[in-house]
Amino acid sequence: MLTFYHAPQSRSFSILWLLEELGEPYSMELIDIRGEDGAPESYRAIQAHKKVPALAHDGVIVTERAAISLYLADAFPRAGLAPAIGDPSRAAYLTALVYADAVLDPVIAAKALGVDYPPRNVSFGSLDDAVAHLESRLAQGHAAGGRFTAADTQLGTAVHYGMNIVGVLPRRPVFEAYMTRMLARPALQRTLAKEEALAKGA
């Protein structure tokens, strides 16, 4: 049994997309993160910072998008969203999947918030380095080489947010072509439809 703790139009979008790619049944608990004090205090027992997403699976809780993505892709291998342990392509997969939250999300957030920082003194480095790295990585077709994996739900969400929502990432042809490929996926189209319905309160 999978329970997904979600808020529409938030970072938990990437996990909603991954769940749609997996095709496993799940239930959704909506968490109101936008009240004055954020999510209810009771939710802290699930997520220490009262943030979404979180996932409960057969009595265990997983938090942090990178961990949830790795967990789900490994727990449901039938969907083929993670190279197996021992497959050399797992290196690029793990790197891209963790990069999305460890590097790309903070550089986009810092730029969007107008925060100046010395790139060599922070773990995530500079936006320019991230753009150059993403450009060469996504030129291969997907986050981790030739095929779609759970790294794409993470990187794809960050590229969409950075380029289309906050306008921090430049509209490089590689990024546009990548997003066009992602948007052709039925699972992403279902995710966007669900998000729209949730945002309208349906």
Ligand X SMILES: N[C@@H](CCC(=O)N[C@@H](CS)C(=O)NCC(=O)O)C(=O)O
- Residues 87-116, one symbol each (x = binds ligand X by CB under 6 A, - = not), give --------------x---------------
Nearer to ligand X, 44 or 171 (CB): 44
Q: Which of 18, 20, 43, 50 binds ligand X (CB under 6 A)?
A: 50
Nearer to ligand X, 38 or 119 (CB): 38
Q: Which of 2, 11, 24, 71 binds ligand X (CB under 6 A)?
A: 11
Q: Which of 51, 111, 142, 160 binds ligand X (CB under 6 A)?
A: 51
Q: Is residue 6 at the binding interface for ligand X, with CB under 6 A as the rule?
A: no
Give me the count of residues in the chain: 202
Q: Is residue 137 at the binding interface for ligand X, with CB under 6 A as the rule?
A: no
How far apart are alpha carbons 138 and 142 in whole angstroms? 5
> Site for ligand X (CB under 6 A): how many residues?
11
Nearer to ligand X, 53 or 83 (CB): 53
Within 14-33, the residues that bind ligand X by CB under 6 A are 33
Nearer to ligand X, 100 or 138 (CB): 100
HEC secondary structure over the chain: CEEEEECCCCCCHHHHHHHHHHCCCCEEEECCCCCCCCCCHHHHHCCCCCCCCEEEECCEEEECHHHHHHHHHHHCHHHCCCCCCCCCCHHHHHHHHHHHHHHHHHHHHHHHCCCCCCHHHCCCCCHHHHHHHHHHHHCCCECCECCCCHHHHHHHHHHHHHHHHCCCCCCCHHHHHHHHHHHCCHHHHHHHHHHHHHHCCC
Asked whether 163 and 174 are in contact (CB, 8 A), the reply is: no
Q: Binding segment for ligand X among 45-53, 83-91, 121-129, 142-150 (CB under 6 A)?
A: 45-53
Q: Binding segment for ligand X among 49-57, 126-134, 135-143, 145-153 (CB under 6 A)?
A: 49-57
Residues that bind ligand X in the complex, under the rule CB under 6 A: 10-11, 33, 38, 50-53, 64-65, 101
